Amino acid sequence: MRISRNGVIVLVLLQLAILLGAILGMVWLYDRWTIPGPNGPERWVGMDFVVTWVGVREMLSGQSPYSSQTLELIQQTVLGGLPEPGGDPMMFVYPAWVFLFYAPLALLPLKWAVAVTTGILLAGSLDFIGYLAYRWGNIQPRRMMLWTLLLIFGSLPFLAISVTKGQMGLVSLAGLAAALWLWERRPTLAGAALGIAFFKPTVAVIPILGFLLWALIERRPRILIGFGACLGILALASFIAIGNWLPDYLALLTTTGGAPVLWSLAFLPWPWKAFFILLFVGLAVFAFIISLRRRDRTPWLSASVLAGIALFPMRWIYDLLFGILIALEEKDVRGAKAISLAAALLAPWLFALLPREIRWQAEVTGMPLIWAIAWWTFFHKSNRSIPKVAAERPDSSI
């Protein structure tokens, strides 16, 4: 569907208005939305982003974001003092190569840095929902409206936390989505998007490895070059700022901030733990085989995303939203596919009916299983294949 020049201008102005409204809305909420904390009321809006803001500002002055000095400053800024025993220590837990990406925001005053970040995340999430509704509804107004309502209602439990807190997981989600969109047309940029997705390795490392493996199979060196160049530039900037931070980061990973890395598996007893792992490993192997047979990357890439949310979400549930990438490239979703997708979107609200003591543990295990059912509905009998041009002319040039 072609859009006229005037239509493009209207869409751009509408997008700017939504973005400005989102930023100003977050400015208004910043001092009004507070929660009880160990040292008094804490601001909810931007709580997780403040950790990044403080860490990157310290890097601008040559200080390691993993140092005790930085940790103390983060805790003072977010919590107003020490965390409660067993509470979130609010550590800088990201690779320091996020430095260059977040440096412009770190130069802003905290309130406006939070508002800009959370406002962009909110506007971007609304755009993402609109895009999915547009594709899944096949440009039919009633169906698009239905998918819009389902997407907003289904993603609200995750977005209410991740957007308002300024979670970096949404940046990784955007990176994986961009890699899928750019895979055919702009492979170098697709690789760079994977580098951005690596900002939060815990949930993105399995999908990224899956994407890079398929780039090797399809002989797409530009994707590999884009990924390497993006990470190389980001890492170089961070090394220039504070030197070799890798030992400090690896030491941090061993402590995990007081939380188990495989939190989704920590409470499962044997043999259920082994069964859960083998289930998603087996699904990934099956997806890899059918992708090779059909010359279609989608089942494998989707299964790698599914394995990521099944094995590596930490502490909070917001990274379970990554499951939506399973159907990112689908169009005109109907029948059993629509039912399974709608069920996966609405499932988080069912977990709210469970007792609070087991609610999140059940959701962090149950949601990947529900998304696995949706994946099976979409792909186990799929006859799609990659575009003929891509199959016959692999991207072997640099």
Q: Which residues pair with 42 in a beta bridge?
A: 35
Above 70 in pLDDT, residue 356? yes
Q: Is the pLDDT of residue 376 over 90?
A: yes
Look up tokens 């070059």; give the residue.
225
Distance of CA 95 to the CA centre of its chain: 15
Residue 386 has pLDDT above 50, yes or no: no
For residue 79, CA distances in Å to 76, 92, 258 come to: 6, 14, 17
Mean pLDDT of the chain: 88
Mean pLDDT along residues 205-231:
96
Q: What is the pLDDT of residue 392?
A: 41
Q: In terms of DSSP H, where are the helices of the chain? A: 5-30, 47-60, 68-78, 99-106, 110-136, 141-165, 169-182, 187-197, 201-217, 221-242, 246-255, 263-266, 272-294, 298-311, 335-351, 356-379, 388-392
Residue 255 binned pLDDT confidence (cut-offs 50, 70, 90): low
pTM (predicted TM-score): 0.90
pLDDT of amino acid 158 = 86
pLDDT value, residue 377: 95
Q: What is the DSSP letter of 317?
A: S
pLDDT surpasses 90 at 219: yes
The candidate with the shortest Cα–Cα distance to 349, out of 333, 337, 366, 327, is 366
Q: Which amino acid does the sequence have at 122?
A: L
What is the residue extent of each domain of the chain? 32-392
How far from chain centre, in Å, is Cα 24? 24
Cβ neighbours around 4 below 10 Å, total: 8
pLDDT above 50: residue 385: no
pLDDT value of position 145? 96
Distance between CA atoms of residues 239 and 103, nearest Å: 14
Side chain identity at residue 53, one-letter code: W
Q: What is the pLDDT of residue 317?
A: 76
pLDDT of residue 140: 92
For residues 141-152, one letter each, b for 16 or more C-beta atoms within 10 angstroms of the residue's C-beta and e for the rest, the string is eebbebbbebbe
Tell me: the pLDDT tens digits for 156-166? Answer: 988 888 999 99
Q: What is the pLDDT of residues 165-205, one digit of tens each?
A: 999 999 999 999 999 999 999 999 999 999 999 998 888 99
Is the distance from CB of 187 to CB of 226 less than 8 angstroms?
yes
> CA torsion 149→151→154→157, rounded to 10°?
-110
User: What are the tens digits of pLDDT across the range 361-375?
Assistant: 888 888 999 999 999
Higher pLDDT, 23 or 261: 23
- Binned at pLDDT 50, 70 and 90, residue 257 comes out as low
Long-range contacts formed by 159-164: CB under 8 A, 24+ apart: 159/122, 159/125, 159/318, 159/321, 161/316, 161/317, 161/318, 162/121, 162/318, 162/321, 163/118, 163/121, 163/122, 163/125, 164/26, 164/29, 164/33, 164/44, 164/45, 164/46, 164/118
Q: How far apart are the first and last CA of the chain?
A: 33
Q: What is the DSSP track for 224-251?
A: HHHHHHHHHHHHHHHHHHHS--HHHHHH
Give the pair of three-digit tokens for residue 141: 């107004």
Taking only the tens place, the pLDDT of each residue in 99-147 is: 999 999 999 999 999 999 999 999 999 999 999 999 999 989 999 999 9
Q: Find where tokens 């930490």 sit.
A: 314
pLDDT at 390: 43
Cis peptide before 271 (omega within 30 of 0): yes
Q: Which residues make Cβ contacts (< 8 Å) with residue 139, sequence separation at least 6?
A: 1
Q: Which residues are paired to 35 by β-bridges?
A: 42
The secondary structure of residue 108, as a DSSP letter, is S
Who wins on pLDDT, 140 or 256?
A: 140
pLDDT at 391: 42
pLDDT digits (tens, 9 = 90+) for 42-90: 999 999 999 999 999 999 999 999 999 999 999 999 998 888 876 778 8
Tell me if 23 sits within 8 A of 115, measured CB to CB: yes
Please write the tens of the pLDDT for every residue from 309-324.
888 765 567 888 899 9
> Cβ distance 379 to 302 under 8 Å?
yes
pLDDT at 361: 80
Q: What is the CA radius of gyration of the chain?
A: 21
- What whole-number distance in Å separates Cα of residue 38 and Cα of residue 79? 7
